[in-house]
Amino acid sequence: MEKIEITEVALKRYQILSDVLKGELTLKEASNVLNLSYRQAIRLKKGLKQQGIKGLLKKARPKPPNLKITSEIKQAVISLKREIYSEFNLLHFRDKLIEAHNINISYESLRQILIKEGLHEAKKKRKSHRRRWRMPKAGMLVQMDSSQHAWLEGILDEWWLVAMKDDADGNVYGRFYPADTTFSNMEVIKEYIKRRGLFMKLYVDNASHFRTTRHGGLHYEVSVEQKETQIQRALRELNIGVEFANSPQAKGKIERLFGFLQDRLINEMKLRGIKDYDSANRFLDEVFWPWYNSRYGVKAESVYRELPDGINLDLIFTVREKRKVNKDNTIKFKGQTYQLLPTNGLRRFAGKWVYVCRDQKAQITVLCDGNKIAYNLFQEKGKILNNSSPVEETMSTTEKVEKKKKWKPAENHPWRGNFKLKKKNDNVTF
């Protein structure tokens, strides 16, 4: 006699559906009691009517599934993990299996294989936090941050990766720098604008190059309005707002990006044998960022604006300091004297306020009312050290001043005649 193992679930279904076949319950009522859909209840009723209680039991599969992972595939995966990809995380390892070795298995199957082999340790579930929704359109909000890390194997110097990420479509741009300075952040923002256009708002932390930070003390007077930083000033000129995050969790997207890069980017550069940061920056520009943006970027409507004509980003993203012109048309900056030259018809600047703009290469530009002013740089003894590169109009005006000859009297001028003085109170005769 055939033995049948019946589960509690099957027994409960048998009792309820038997009442349906007897006409004591409707099928709708039975589906509600069994917490099944009406369509599923119809299928089970039909199975009970045709096969009896066997119709309610799960059918054993007659053969293994077509997608079963063979022992050969398992051994290949284990060998690759041990020999080549020992430092890769699961997702990165799975991508390499698909791209380089044509082995396509699911993430969970790969995880279980490595756990059983002792090559991966299951992590405890962390407490999840509610994430902020993405912005609806690209260009509304761009997050920016820096991460200091030992990015290259064999190099002790921990460089900074300064990166920007769009909150909506997830596109990223960044570069390596030896220090997290105002100029390094300015350069990344400038290049991002050149590539994508002007955006609406920049989301950053409270670093000193983004926000003027004051620390109180006994002899400190707190001011409500703090002086804006050079980056704030540059963004204001481009009509880009700045929003500050009060915690790392608030900038979750860019923070998770650095976790991803500290794992995957390091291994990718290691595979390619990259040993210096110049090569690393070329790899970012030419290979990694295009791959990342095509793989993880999200399609979103864009509100990026084209850069208007006449805007010089190289001049906007400089460090500016205000100086008042002396009576002799000179200004002092960093212990040096700059002689302002006539420009665009203006010959005197005494009493005016000008801006001295210094770029990352220490090149100096002087602005007066938004116009470039030519200058000479003097040493302490008055010798010209170098000069600026003025526009044509400035050069022509300067040349006119320099080429102006001193007046000399003619040969027959009375001043050239002989004369002698007589005694006191006498007239002078020529």
CATH number, residue 245? 3.30.420.10
Q: What is the mean pLDDT of residues 95-104?
A: 91
What are the E-state strand segments in 97-141? none
| Residue 179 predicted with pLDDT over 90 | yes
| Domain housing 344 | 318-403
Q: Cα dihedral sign for 180, 183, 186, 187?
A: negative
Q: Cα dihedral sign for 369, 372, 375, 380?
A: positive
Question: For tokens 């500016």, what's the residue?
Answer: 320
Cα 44 from Cα 277, distance rounded (Å): 66
Does a structural domain hold residue 309? no
The highest-confidence range among 172-181, 354-363, 387-396, by mean pLDDT, is 172-181
Query: 320-345, pLDDT tens digit by residue?
Result: 999 999 988 899 998 889 988 888 77
pLDDT computed for residue 15 by the predictor: 87
pLDDT computed for residue 384 by the predictor: 60
Query: Is the domain of 90 the same as that of 180?
Result: no
What are the E-state strand segments in 375-423? 375-378, 384-387
| Residue 428 predicted with pLDDT over 50 | no
**Of 18-32, 122-136, 325-339, which range is least confident?**
122-136
Q: Where does residue 319 rank: exposed (0-12), middle (13-18), buried (19+ CB within 10 A)?
A: middle
List Cα–Cα distances, 301 to 163, 253, 293, in angstroms. Answer: 22, 19, 16
Does a structural domain hold residue 131? no
Of the candidates 393, 163, 383, 130, the one whose C-alpha atom is nearest the C-alpha of residue 260 is 163
Query: Is the domain of 269 the same as that of 375?
Result: no
Q: Which of 244, 265, 296 is the last residue of a domain?
A: 296
Number of other CB atoms surrounding residue 387 within 10 Å: 15
Question: For tokens 């708002």, what's the residue?
Answer: 201
pLDDT computed for residue 385 by the predictor: 62
Does a structural domain hold residue 36? yes
Instruction: Please give the distance of CA 258 from its chain centroid, rounded to a whole number.
Output: 10
Query: Is the domain of 326 the same as that of 384?
Result: yes
Q: Is the pTM of this model over 0.75?
A: no
**25 band by pLDDT with thresholds 50, 70 and 90:** confident
**What are the φ and ψ backbone dihedral angles of 378, each rounded to 5 degrees?**
-105, 150
Query: Is the domain of 45 the same as that of 86?
Result: no
Query: Is the domain of 257 the same as that of 159?
Result: yes
Cα 383 from Cα 377, distance rounded (Å): 8
Number of other CB atoms surrounding residue 59 within 10 Å: 7
**67 band by pLDDT with thresholds 50, 70 and 90:** low
Query: Is the domain of 51 the same as that of 189?
Result: no
Does a structural domain hold residue 421? no
Cα 44 from Cα 40, distance rounded (Å): 6
Query: Is the domain of 148 the same as that of 237?
Result: yes
Does a structural domain hold residue 312? no
Instruction: Name the percent of the chain lying above pLDDT 70.
Output: 82
Of the candidates 317, 358, 319, the one whose C-alpha atom is nearest the C-alpha of residue 186 is 317
Decide which of 159 and 222 is more confident. Answer: 159
pLDDT computed for residue 397 by the predictor: 40
Query: Is the domain of 331 the same as that of 388?
Result: yes
Q: Tell me, what amino acid is at 393? A: E
Does a structural domain hold residue 86? yes
Cα 30 from Cα 33, distance rounded (Å): 5
Does a structural domain hold residue 420? no
φ/ψ bin of 344: left (φ > 0), alpha (ψ from -120 to 50), beta (otherwise)? left
Query: Is the domain of 97 the same as that of 152?
Result: no
Cα 310 from Cα 304, distance rounded (Å): 18
Query: Which residues, at least 6 apart from 292, have a Cβ–Cβ distance to it below 8 Å?
Result: 172
The number of distinct structural domains making up the chain is: 4
| Residue 251 predicted with pLDDT over 60 | yes
Count of positions (residues) in the chain: 430
pLDDT computed for residue 401 by the predictor: 43
pLDDT computed for residue 371 by the predictor: 86
Are 107 and 94 in contact by the 8 Å Cβ rule? The answer is: yes
Does a structural domain hold residue 302? no
Cα 151 from Cα 160, distance rounded (Å): 9
End-to-end CA distance of the chain: 158
Q: What is the mean pLDDT of residues 207-228?
A: 61
| Residue 303 predicted with pLDDT over 70 | yes
Query: Is the domain of 328 the same as that of 395?
Result: yes
Number of other CB atoms surrounding residue 326 within 10 Å: 15
Q: Where does residue 429 rank: exposed (0-12), middle (13-18), buried (19+ CB within 10 A)?
A: exposed
CA quadruple 196, 201, 204, 209: dihedral, nearest 10: 80
**Of 48-62, 71-85, 168-182, 254-268, which range is least confident?**
48-62
Query: Residue 130 has what DSSP assignment?
Result: P
Number of other CB atoms surrounding residue 20 within 10 Å: 20
Q: Are strands 142-149 and 201-204 parallel, antiparallel or unpaired?
A: parallel
Query: Is the domain of 285 the same as that of 332?
Result: no
**Of 21-30, 33-42, 205-214, which range is least confident?**
205-214
| Residue 395 predicted with pLDDT over 60 | no
What are the strands of the beta sheet with 336-340, ordered from one edge? 330-333, 336-340, 375-378, 384-387
Are 377 and 384 in contact by the 8 Å Cβ rule? The answer is: yes
Query: Is the domain of 286 the same as that of 240?
Result: yes
| Residue 290 exposure: Cα atoms within 13 Å on the Cβ side | 6
pLDDT computed for residue 392 by the predictor: 39
Mean of the per-residue pLDDT values for the chain? 83
